[in-house]
Chain A
């Protein structure tokens, strides 16, 4: 009964979405307020309906209703409750339903936070989001219905993939999808502006908080995915340039470019048509990511489904969205117009460089991700693109980008003077050069890569500190609290996010430069020394989880005779599928992690004898995710800026006076 209710709610949601996607658009064209006013209630109703459907599916998972095919495929009576809930979006169908839930959720928030948007703009924005929703609901209902019954019902479910039975997996997909889908708002704003042929600074101010929100969620989602792969896959890596990772990274790169170009559009009225194009690209890449992951064209744990009908559907949908919006762009971009001029050295030109570098980075990831697929599809052969390609290209593109982070916020709009920049940044430069020159010697190994990485990290941090100092130093008559208040939240957000980049680069540089990885065979009570730490293997003991059984190794760790926390890496066999899984043990620390995972018994004595063990020292690795967290926190801080709430008054002023 419950699954049928969910199915029915989805069908009604589709009908509502069709109404939401067409009538307000027609109303905006005919200037008919009654039709335009339909958008709001339709968007809200759609959210409620999709939420009901999602709740029904979650209920089926929570109660373990194995008469529902999806539940039988992805759950098990032994599965703990939190993973039953997470299993709702652990499968292809469920994750698409989550996608639509997010989309309608964002639409709902748009209706709540836009009381004073011009009626025609709101109608168009919600209609565009409704049309996207139509596409996804059709896809769900016709190719990936999550509510299909299994007759006769299964006695027992096949279990959720053990790799996904992890706390990180519970929140990674919702965060990632919040980001992916959030770009649909910026996209809808852009399409609405193109349809109206009117795009001004107010438009940029409306789009900005939405883009920032989506970008922050996406940042968290990607970081969680990376963190998950670090401790679940047991390889100690945090980024593999896997096509699935790239699929989420490309919208992030385009979104980062969009954030910065929106800043120029808002403050200076320049880059407007470029900004619109970036919004289209960011959302198209989100759709492409969904296609890559969901169509089963990739080999990876994420590719749950292999079904050509689905692939063709998403490809057609993608072609319609991308083709349609680019055609509209080509027809209307000229009407959007250029903007104020700027000097070769100015904040505008630096942000332009930022955008070009980010787009080049994005394009190179796209090339490396899609080329093997194209070659395969053409039947020419099977190839893959090695991580060294991504590493090399990325370093070349992001090093200048990182260098500019310190300069951009300090340069003035319109025209900046080089001598002035030098005066403001020389201390940061000196500190960065000295630190990067000396610290690698202290670490025991000076490499050009470590130098570049540390230089950039300290340079960004130093430049940002200079920025803060120079903002706070003038006007000494004010109190510190007054000065704190004088700076807008958006500025603090930027400062936080840029510090985040510095922290992130530090983590990457240290792990790449000074991480140690060693595979060893360890007999009972044998000690292996790795990077100054003594690892002593004390054998294994049996462990029993709720839905798995296995062994846990006992590995004592000490440094110079001082005992550190003992590590317990596990080797599990899951009851339902008999699948083996390694659970790494990590002793996390501010200055680095000690990471141990069990391989297999290597002697003829079986589990009682020697084991193959991976021993890793990962200096500063947690800084990678902490940096991402700071970036996202910066984004959320920037969103709270007062001026986004003041938009209301200025909207009215703009509507009365200023030309487009």
Chain B
């Protein structure tokens, strides 16, 4: 009788602790999800202002500019349909190249410039980051299938 009560108390305590832990974990989880947007989505204002997110696509050829004697760079990420200007302060990864795939994390400024806090290119050079590849595919489909309607809507 007493043993059974004690067991119930233990189980109850366990359930409460696990519940609280799960709630806390999910709360932190929710606030640290980083969503991914293609340049087309950014251009159509689907991406959030202020909150960090990721964009992906190709580094437009000829767009990489360095501010002399600083580590600040600017470049343009494109999915061939839309372009997003990106500024970044820091050293670029080895595999960052014009015309190659890139994924950048950061947030969108009021002027439509993407302020990257991190530029990711942790892959080998024949490899397209899945996000960047998906952005190109989406833009390609969009252009061939629904570009006229999109223009009409605007």
Contact = CB atoms under 8 A, between A and B. Distances in A.
Given A392-B28, A521-B70, A599 B91 contact: yes
Interface in B35-59: 35-36, 52, 54
Given A382-B35, A385-B34, A519-B91, A602 B66 contact: yes
Contacts of A568: none
B32 A383 contact: no
B74 to A, nearest CB: 13
A301 B33 contact: no
Interface string A249-283: 00000000000000000000000000000000000
Nearest to A349: B10
A579 interface: yes
B105 to A, nearest CB: 8
A364 B94 contact: no
B25 A367 contact: yes
Contacts of A234: 94
Given A385-B29, A396-B24, A603-B68, A614 B34 contact: no
A320 to B, nearest CB: 28
Q: How large is the interface on A (under 10, 10 to 19, 20 to 34, 35 or more residues)?
A: 35 or more
Interface in B65-109: 66, 68-71, 89-92, 94-95
B69 A603 contact: yes
Contact of B36 (A371, A384, A582, A602): A384
Interface in A364-423: 364, 367-368, 371, 381-386, 388-389, 392-393, 396-397
A385 B125 contact: no
Given A384-B34, A519-B89, A368 B122 contact: no
A1 B95 CA distance: 39
A149 B84 CA distance: 45
Of B14, B69, B89, most buried by chain A (CB within 10 Å of CB) is B69
A581 interface: yes
A386 B34 contact: yes
A393 B36 contact: no
Contacts of A371: 29
A523 B32 CA distance: 39
A37 interface: no
Contacts of B35: 381-383
Contacts of B21: 360, 397
B94 A579 contact: yes
B152 interface: no
A397 B25 CA distance: 10
A377 to B, nearest CB: 12
A610 B125 contact: no
Contacts of A525: none
Given A233-B122, A523-B69, 11 more contacts: A161-B124, A300-B122, A384-B36, A384-B54, A386-B34, A389-B31, A392-B32, A519-B90, A579-B124, A602-B70, A603-B68
